[in-house]
Amino acid sequence: MAWLVLAALLLALVLAVNLKRPSPSASSEDVDPEQAMKAAVELHRIRRRFDVSWTRSQQRREAARVRREIAEAFEGGDE
């Protein structure tokens, strides 16, 4: 009996959440195509800059690793 009440409350909660959500078609009608294109271009710029900075970071990390290996090789050669 308690599980039936719990199931009814859960169903009511799910329905309430679905009713409060805005419909996808209503939000897509409010978007100006020009603003959407500007936003897409800006996101592309951000992504491109992020990719460049990530690549440079990887290159710096690899260069530091190679410098450490070279330093260790020189230190080990003295023995």
pLDDT digits (tens, 9 = 90+) for 32-48: 899 999 999 999 999 99
HSE-up of 29 (CA within 13 Å, CB side)?
Answer: 5
Tokens of 26: 């209503």
Bigger pLDDT: 4 or 28? 4
- The answer to which of 9-13, 18-22, 57-61 has the lowest mean pLDDT is 18-22
pLDDT band at residue 79 under the 50/70/90 scheme: low
Specify the 3-state DSSP secondary structure of 30: coil
